[in-house]
A and B are shown apart, each in its own frame.
Chain A
Amino acid sequence: MKRAMKIIAAILAIVLATSALASCGPKESNAGTADGGATPARAGKDDGDQVPEFADDRGATPARAGKDIFTEQIKIAYITLAMAGIGNRMHELAFAEQLEFYPNVEFKFFDANYDPNNQRAQIGECITAGYDAIMIECMDTNVVGPAILEAEQAGIPVLTINQGADVLHTLHIQGSDYAAGAQAARILAEKSGGSGNAVLLDVPAEQKASGRMGTGFAETLASEFPDIKLIETQPIANWNQENANNAMRDILIKYPDAGDINIVYGVSDDVAVGAVQAIEAAGRAGEGILVYGNMGYPNGLQAVKDGRMYGTGFSDIYLEDTSSLTLALYFIATGTTSVTAGYEKTPTVDMVVTPVSPDNIELVIGASHWLQIPGAIS
């Protein structure tokens, strides 16, 4: 036993000594800083209305030659949070329809299974396999930063979708985030007459940094509607309907009387529908609790259509996907990355979140493309 301990101690000492030597004088670092080793850059305009600017001879690295996006073989990766969930069926539809015009484009989904380490490895794989563009929904704003920087420096434009990254990259497109939560707060406050008690069924705790719709909802209520009291905030693991249902059941038990709860905001439609189910199961559907969702998934739109849920914020996934892909192709065609364009800050574009209520539900469903997915909505 002692011999084993001695050997283990000796080995650990060697390992630590090696590490110590290594950490003494790094010649360079892969730190996730914003400059990421990029060459001197030009500033773009701040807001989402900016058009990407290109490098010139005053500082930025000369752009690499782009590819002919109609004839050359092109590979594009989409790294999801997870492939489960109805939203991914819409991704598949949107990309498939658009890529009918680009038979030379090889498009691949990577399933990160809610693991940032998987995302890191998958970005590495995309670099190795010579992908021409990476689209990614980041699990965390920092964790995949070094991998994104490496991709950008390898000449691969990285587009972050909805959940962004703090490091400099080619483009961030965001849909339902802080603004969607703020919008929901204003709509619900107006409908409830500016007073009452609210419940927030929030993003999973570990994604709070990147999913900010709950924060937008809570902060807007606090700052603009002081007479509405946020009585419960509950993170819902994996954005899951069943977990939301269970959480809402507990909340309903805690607040047993009619009028105890006036507003419920679920950060996704799965979450909101879970809350609706719990309210119905508790026999409290007649209390007039206003439930509002987010994303405009088929179950949420259906619940609004059926009069079970007051409304939801509709983010047009189809439009977001096709816009992202169009921009990715543009970046490939022009050889643009944050490095070649010399950005100082990642250009960010916000997608519109359309408030959905019983008044416009038919219109939204008709325009949503969900009808193209069999069984998604009736």
Chain B
Amino acid sequence: MRKLATVGFVLILMLVFSLQADNFFNLRNFSELSFNAAFLGLLALGLSFVMIGGGIDLSAGGIVCVVAILCSRFSFLGTPGIVVVVFGVVCGAFFGLCNGLLVSRAGLTEFVTTLATGILYQGLGLLFAFRDTGKLSGTLVSMGITNKSYLALGGRFSALFGARGALKDFHLMTVIWIVLAVAMYFVLRRTNFGLRTYAIGSHPKAAEMSGVDIRRVKTIGFVICGAFAGLASAFLVANMSAANASLGSGYEFQAIAACVVGGIALGGGKGDAVCALIGSVFLVTILNGLYKFNIPTYWSYILQGVIIIVATVFDASFASFARRLRERRADRASGEEAMRL
């Protein structure tokens, strides 16, 4: 129901933008929109595992930054593109593991830990960035990637497989994002790990008493979150053909916003991977549509903030309404039971 409401909003937005703006309803625009949504969506997808488990991860932006620099450096060794992407995923997963271990083993709070590690990862990005002398004392320089097999991964389908028709304008990252979103939906809904994630997000005490290893599930959640941030970063760098140490700043909040707007509860236990997907599309569609109306950029920030507040209020009201509905049904059922007796 909540997901349908968001999908409805997305469709209404698209309809309005298509009718009112000249350049919204075309393949080129949907290609751009889907690429931007895919990047945000991959971050949100990873984050959904942490949020559904009742946690929060503020280090996604830092991971994007450091992985971008590492992938950029790795690609200069002439490494095949696919290996660079795998390297990005592994690095992201490693940074996620560090988060997970700090939270679950050292017992630190998620908010403070991931805030700190996010800053730390951003610093590592600066540390590993290219310098003119190759030494730490050297001046930072920007290096364009020339590794063609890696750059191809950031390109459009037409450049990769010579695809024709509707697919040719879309990016590989978009397709991977959709496939992963569907797959993660099943991971969350149909596997023991997914169900345990919901359990610790809904009621951690009850989950623990039922034998769920909370620390392990949480750690895996952080690893997945880091891996997805690494994947998004690796593809983004391939698309941009260079990495910059300022990448990633504030992305974690956009990803959290996408999750919340999509219907993943900040308190945990609600939502799924498809919610993260829808939320990302929603936010990116609004931004894309606003550009078409020549509206100053600050309005898009204001609107994004308002949307997040509205989504949170909507969630709270919707949860309250659903609870009242359940109670009323239960009352009616018990009344009918009493009548029957």
Query: Which residues of A come within 8 Å of B, CB atoms?
Result: 1-5, 7-8, 11-12, 14-16, 18-20, 22-24, 26-33, 83, 106, 108-111, 113-117, 120-122, 124-125, 127-130, 139-147, 166-167, 204-210, 215
Contact = CB atoms under 8 A, between A and B. Distances in A.
B292 interface: yes
A33 B146 contact: yes
27 contacts: A7-B183, A8-B183, A11-B180, A11-B183, A11-B187, A15-B179, A19-B85, A19-B176, A26-B149, A30-B159, A32-B242, A33-B144, A110-B291, A110-B297, A111-B298, A115-B246, A115-B247, A116-B247, A121-B32, A124-B36, A127-B32, A128-B28, A128-B32, A139-B246, A144-B240, A206-B246, A208-B139
A205 B126 contact: yes
Nearest to B141: A209
Contacts of A2: 192
Contacts of B292: 129
Given A4-B191, A19-B172, A29-B155, A206 B179 contact: no
B159 A26 contact: yes
Interface string B138-157: 01111111101111111110
A122 B161 CA distance: 27
Contacts of A83: 297-298
Contacts of B22: 130
Contact of B249 (A11, A111, A115, A145): A115
User: Which residue, of B36, B89, B144, B154, has the highest number of chain A Cβ atoms within 10 A?
Assistant: B144
A5 B223 CA distance: 12
Given A4-B187, A117-B247, A206-B246, A146 B148 contact: no
Contacts, number: 200
Contacts of A111: 297-298
A124 B23 CA distance: 12
B322 to A, nearest CB: 28
Contacts of B165: none
Contacts of A147: 240
Contact of A142 (B142, B153, B186, B196): B142
A143 B246 CA distance: 11
Interface of B: 22-23, 26, 28-29, 32, 35-36, 39, 80-82, 85-86, 89, 126, 129, 139-146, 148-156, 159-162, 172, 175-176, 179-180, 183, 186-187, 191-194, 196, 216, 224, 236, 239-247, 249-250, 288, 291-292, 294, 296-298
Contacts of B161: 22, 27
Given A1-B196, A22-B153, A120-B239, A31 B148 contact: yes
B186 to A, nearest CB: 7
A121 B129 CA distance: 23
Contacts of B298: 83, 111
A206 B159 contact: no
Contact of A29 (B26, B159, B162): B159
Contact of B186 (A7, A114, A146): A7
Nearest to A114: B246
Given A16-B86, A141-B142, A209-B141, A116 B239 contact: no
Given A2-B192, A117-B247, 15 more contacts: A3-B193, A11-B183, A29-B159, A30-B155, A30-B156, A31-B148, A111-B298, A115-B247, A129-B292, A139-B246, A140-B246, A142-B145, A142-B244, A144-B240, A146-B240
Nearest to B241: A32
B162 A140 contact: no
Contacts of A114: 246, 249
B32 A124 contact: yes
Given A11-B180, A120-B239, A143 B191 contact: no
A367 to B, nearest CB: 30
